[in-house]
Amino acid sequence: FRLAAMLKKLGYQVSEASNGKEALEQLRQQPVAVVLSDWVMPEMTGIELCRQVRNEELNNPYFILVTGRDSTADLVAGMDSGADDFIAKPFNGEELLVRLKAGQRTIKMRHKLESQSVELKKHIDRQEKLAEQSSKDLEMASEILTDLLPENSLNQSNLNICGLFKPATEIGGDFYNYFKLDDDHMGFYCLDVVGHGVPAALFAFMLARTIMPGEGLLIKNKRIVKPREVVRSLNIKFLNKTATPQYFTMTYGVINIKTGQGQLCQAGSPYPIVVHEDGSCTKLGDGGYPVGLIPGADYDDIEFELSSGSRLFLYSDGLVEVENITQKQLGLDGLAQVFQLNKDQSLESALNISYDHIKKWSAKSDMEDDVSVLALEIPSKNDGR
């Protein structure tokens, strides 16, 4: 086994199996951190092994498929089975080491999230028995939720993505994320749990763990699930599933990064705004129902297309509901104007400058609600930013 020898040389403890069924039996007896499996094997394929490991929840190992296949359909099939990564044949020791180190980082993060989730739940249980929440618990919940947000902006030749999150004095349930669905498509969303405090943060934490490419919600049977179907599934999943009724608003979308065409589903969240290169604005969406509130709620997909130099903004209601000294709300039109004013700035600068502008416009020094914005941009062909 050349692969096993290479791993041992790199200092790893290795258990070997000659086929998929033998590997599955070993995993049932002895949990491991990482599984490297050939795609094609006797008795059971690598995809079948991965799917069975996920179904049986066998310690949730980091699963790497070793394959000579490189088509999009094959990669989607592997992701749909629950694979975390791929390594193409032939490979060398350096590449293998890089993949394993990436897996170790992911495993460490998973363990951290699981540990934090348990600790957060313990704090919630204690708080339900007490009359008031401690500031220490609120700060911890805020840090955990903030740590789950995407760390960096995405800057590619055909798509830029940037987010902004500013927590309020009392923690809420704002969250956003974006992720690769396949070589051509990115998924993205912005959500807001109704309510404040630790319960809202815990619910947002649960949603963040649920809306991930590897969870079977966004890709099924090698097919990218339409946004309306994703939102409908979330509505069914979270309807009356908590002791205290909780629901949330969101916009979830999918964009083809090569064409700029996409679909999104608005579920009770503020209207997404598109700022075009010429400065004009378009409002997207049709309102929609919040998620987890109405049994049998139906949702629609909204088609959109981002052309060169255009930007799409998703945001929480904490922005549009800001009031000035005369108690006038900024509103959708006011927010669109702020985004228009900063269209010539880089995407990250535009978000920060827009937030500063709105904060100065507000009558209060501290924002009463969380502020979150997720922005997508097709870089301008004449972009000098």
360-378: per-residue pLDDT in tens? 888 776 777 788 999 999 9
Residue 51 makes CB contacts below 8 A (sequence gap 6+) with: 81, 82
Domain 2-105 sits in CATH at 3.40.50.2300
What is the assigned CATH class of domain 133-377? alpha beta
Residue 190 CA to residue 178 CA, distance in Å, equals 9
Q: Where are the beta strands (DSSP E) in 197-289?
A: 219-220, 223-224, 248-256, 261-267, 273-275, 281-283
Residue with the two structure tokens 């830029």: 160
Q: Rg for the chain (alpha carbons), in Å? A: 23
CB 115 within 8 A of CB 108: no
* pLDDT at 131 (0 to 100): 45
Show the DSSP H helices in 181-246 as ranges: 197-210, 227-238
CB 68 within 8 A of CB 88: yes
CB 26 within 8 A of CB 17: yes
* pLDDT at 137 (0 to 100): 64
Splitting the chain (385 residues) into consecutive groups of 10 residues, what average pLDDT does each group show? 77 87 90 87 88 84 84 76 83 79 82 81 70 60 76 84 83 87 94 84 86 85 93 91 77 96 97 96 93 94 96 93 88 94 94 92 75 94 64
228-239: per-residue pLDDT in tens?
Answer: 999 999 999 988
- Coil vs helix vs strand at 289: coil
Q: Where are the domains of the chain?
A: 2-105, 133-377
CB 34 within 8 A of CB 101: no
